[in-house]
Every structure is written in structure tokens, then in C-alpha cells.
Chains A and B, each alone.
Chain A
Amino acid sequence: MVDKNKHGEIVKAESKNLDFYYADGTQALKNVSLPVYENKITALIGPSGCGKSTFLRSFNRMHDLYPGNRYDGEIVLHPDNTNILDARVDPIEVRMRISMVFQKPNPFPKSIYENVAYGLRVRGENNSRTLDDKVEEALKGASLWGEVKNRLQDLAFNLSGGQQQRLCIARALATEPEIMLFDEPTSALDPIATVNIEELMSGLREKLSILIVTHNMQQAARISDYTAYMYLGELVEHDATDKIFTNPSKKETEDYITGKFG
């Protein structure tokens, strides 16, 4: 059963009436229903504190790491048609299929090779041949192979900021995820590194689905196919990127886009 919707796209995952409460009781998400389309880039924009990172981190159950957080509602993953927030679902399994790249590049204090291989190792993959192949593939997919292929045993910290972030992308790619979550991936990088990564993300569309949180509206306009505007924990508007940026349906969206506030 393939879910097609008003945009005629295949839904890879979708949140349904998602509420989220932090341990201290504050409600960070209110009734958010948002689809993530297959092989498309969906961008989340909105002012600080609107809940976009909170929403992103619900997709790979990052909130589970901190006790007291509570989800209400569903995030359904296809083709399983299962709510990944269900208590019977193993968060480890979720994270093996939905990976994340963080705002500040955070490679492990290990070698470049080991950084990329780690995701495979935790799955029990120990065959060095297989690992070599998959590490190379992931580094190529992150456009980093050429620069590091002769120094795989070097410490990851010796790379530049942009290279480190691409390494983190390679690390996330190595496990062949179905969805990749990007949390403001270029906000800590210089413009040239930013362009590299944006190009990379565009290419990755072919293999997987992408959900990206960005503070930079121009970035959303440049690379995403669909954009969702959030404010104070609610989804205000979700539509094709072109439409959002040229002819938004809601006034709030228009105000934010044109810089009237935020």
C-alpha cells in the first residue's frame, strides 16, 4: 500500500498529530502532522525555539537519551507502516535506518577510517574486506574520498571543519540509511564548505530521503523540494518550496519569509 498524497509523492515517513513534552513539562510540539517524501529534501524553517530541532530529533528517538521526555502521537515509517515511537519499537533499530548529521561537526577522537566504520562495527560487521569497501563507498558518497584516501589512519580531528562535517556525513552514510536527518549542518561552516555540503545533499536525494532543519532561509530555498514553516511548536504551513517562497498560503509564513519578524 503506497501512500500517495496531494503532491503525488511517495511518503517515506510521516508524523501524525505529534505532541512532545520535555521533562520539565513544557510542550515543545503541538499536533504536528508532516510528511517526509521519498527521495526528496524537506526543509524545516522557523524562528529560534519553534520546535524544528525537537521535531527532527524525534525521528531518530534522540530524546530517549534524556529521561522524562514524552511523545504523544505517531511517527510512521514506511514501508513498515509502524509507529516508530511505539514502546515496543527498538530505538537502536530506528537509528540504524534513520541517521543524523549534527550542527557542529562531531567526529570521534579516532582515525578517519574508524569514524566511518563505527556504524558498521556496532552492527557486528568485522570482516575487514567488507569494512574497507563500505568505508570507501561512504567516503565517496560524501565527496571526501579523494582528500583522505591516503591518510585513513589519520586522526579525524586533523581535518578542517568542512572536511569533518563531510566525514560525519560519511559516517552516517556508511550504514545505508533510508532517511538522513540534518540539524543545521552548515551553520558552523564557512561559505565554501557550505556550498560543498549543499551540493552533496542534492546528490544524496537519489539514494535516500532527507529532512533538514535550517536557520538559513536561502539555503532552504536553494536545495529543498518541500518546505515546512513552524512556529511555537506548531506546523504553520507545508508545501512545495517554490510555492512557499513565492506564494505562501498563510500570512504568518509570508511575514516570516519576508523578514517582517523572526
Chain B
Amino acid sequence: MAKTAIKAKNSNDLNEIRALIKKHKKNDLIFAATGMFVIASLTITLLILFLDLVIDGYPRFTLDFFSNFPSRRALRAGILSAWIGSSLVLLVTFFVAVPLGIAAGVYLEEYAKKNWISDLIEINVSNLAGVPSIIYGLLALGLFVYSFGLGSSILTAGLTLALLMLPIVIVSTRESIRAIPVHIREAAFAVGATKWQVVINHVIPYSYGGILTGVIIGMARAIGETAPVITIGALTFIAFLPPSPISTSAPFLNFEWLDSAFTVLPIQMFNWISRPQHAFHVNAAATGAVIIVLTALMNGFAIRLRYKIRKKIKW
């Protein structure tokens, strides 16, 4: 080794080394620049996507668009039945997926013992997250539409999307619960609380923010899901509204709307983009803009919420 060190003092070798370092630094810079370029392009793509929809759909951003039914005349067509349908379906999805998902997450984190049943459940939850959404549609078609006889209704769609949303709620519930330090839990038990009291008085209230983040992200995804809803037989041309859940005569709440035929925003967009006439494409763009604004707002809100929670927690 000593010989090499002495040899390196020879200026030729030194120059070689310097050239090598220079080359490496150049590669480094090139890569950094490429990286920045790629990331900038991705960001710009997102913007282009949004702008494209807004520009294409611009002519249709009128109040009429939101209050009209779809029609054979592209100019008269609106998304009334679509956004009402989406709202009602999401209502069902929320009330099914959220309690079920939180309960499942709580069980897996607080109650499950280390046995094969718990392992089986965990494997299933992570597996279900990777199942293509259209398969949920096929499941719903065979099970809800036919076997349970629920038909191609709002209830069916709500249940289907709830199944899709379930893994997201379960995972975010579990992650939020895991963030609660052990000594807070021990303190609660030490004072004589039962397992359920610890869950309801401490665990859920402290993981509330994280769970909410997951729920919002799940709902944002559900708004945009098209394939499973088409598969269960949602109609693509609806010129009527489902019966209202609230009525002026008693009983003030009814559930007929659950059974109704319906359509949702992404299906309406899909229907319009599938038509050859350009005028319908404009409608599709406008609908797309509406959908993307909704999902971007929800996702953005969830991201901000998660950021704020991370800052606030100082166990």
C-alpha cells in the first residue's frame, strides 16, 4: 500500500483521479437535473389534466348544467340525476364502511390474540386492498343484485363501494391506534377501566384525526369509482330522481330511495365520452372538472389534516 501512496504523488495519477471525480460529479448533477425535470413534469401533467377539463368543459359551467337531467340534446343535458345519485350512494357507503371499518380496526389492534384466526383476517384485509375494483362489481352483481335480491339500486351501489372502502378505513384506523403510546393505555387500565372503556374513552378519541383522514381519502376514491357501479347495472341515462329521503309528512324519514335506480357522476361522464358527437364530449369534460374538483378538495383536505395532526401530537 505504501508504494501506491508514493506513486499517487505522481501528478499523472492525480489528474486521473481528478478527472474521475469530475465525471462522477457531472453524473450526479445530470441525475439531479433529470429528477427535478421528471417531478416538475408530473406536477405539470396534473395541472394540464385539470386545465384540459376546465377549458374543454367551460361552455357548460352554468347553473342549468347542475339542475338539468341528461337529455338527447347535448346542450340541454345536465348532471342533476348524477350528482344526486352520487350523494345518495355515498351516504350509504359512509354509514356502512365507517362503523364497520373502525370496529374491525379496533378489534385487530386491541382485542385480537395471536392465533391463526387473527392472521387469517389480517391476510384477507391486505389482500382485499389489492383486488381490482371491477371484481367487487362482479361480487356485488352475483351477491347483492341477484342472491340477496337487492337489484341494481342505490343500496347495492352503496354496499359495493363500502366494501371497496373498507380496507382503507381499517388500515388508517390501525395506524392511528398504533401511534398511541403504551403508557397512556396502561394508565387508563391502572385506574380500573375495562378494555371497552379504554377503547371508547381513550383509543378512539385520540386516533380520531388519523381515522378521519383515511375516511376522507376512502370517500374521495368512492366518488370516482366507475367500473364496479357499472357492473352492478347502474343506468347511464336517468331522467328522474330517486324518491327523496325526507318528506313533509310523517314519518319524516323514508328509505324508498335505497331501492331506486340511479346514476353517478363518473358513469355520466363515461356515458357522454362514449358518444361520438363532440357536444357530448364537452359535457363529459365539464363533469370531469366537477369530479376532479371534488376529489382534489377532499384529498387535499385529508393531506392537510394529516399534516396538522402530525405536528400536534407531542406525546
Contacts and interface: CB of A to CB of B under 8 A. Distances in A.
A157 B313 CA distance: 11
A1 B186 CA distance: 35
Contacts, number: 59
B205 to A, nearest CB: 8
Contacts of B202: 108
B41 interface: no
Interface string A21-65: 000000000000000000000000000000000000000101001
B192 A123 contact: yes
Contact of B189 (A65, A104, A175): A65
A86 to B, nearest CB: 18
A84 B190 CA distance: 15
Nearest to A121: B201
Of the listed residues B114, B186, B202, the one surrounded by the most CB atoms of chain A closer than 10 A to its CB is B186
A168 B193 CA distance: 15
Contacts of B197: 122
Contacts of B314: 157
A108 B186 contact: no
Nearest to A181: B190
Given A102-B187, A106-B187, A96 B192 contact: yes
B72 to A, nearest CB: 59
A104 B314 CA distance: 14
A106 B184 contact: yes
A122 B186 contact: no
B191 A104 contact: no
Interface size class for chain A?
Answer: 20 to 34
A65 B186 contact: yes
Given A67-B113, A67-B114, A108-B202, A168 B192 contact: no
Interface string B111-124: 00110000000000
A60 B113 contact: no
A243 to B, nearest CB: 32
Given A67-B113, A67-B114, A118-B201, A109 B187 contact: no
A62 B191 contact: no
B28 to A, nearest CB: 45
Contacts of B114: 67
A175 B114 CA distance: 34
B188 interface: yes
B190 A95 contact: yes
B192 A102 contact: no
A92 B198 CA distance: 12
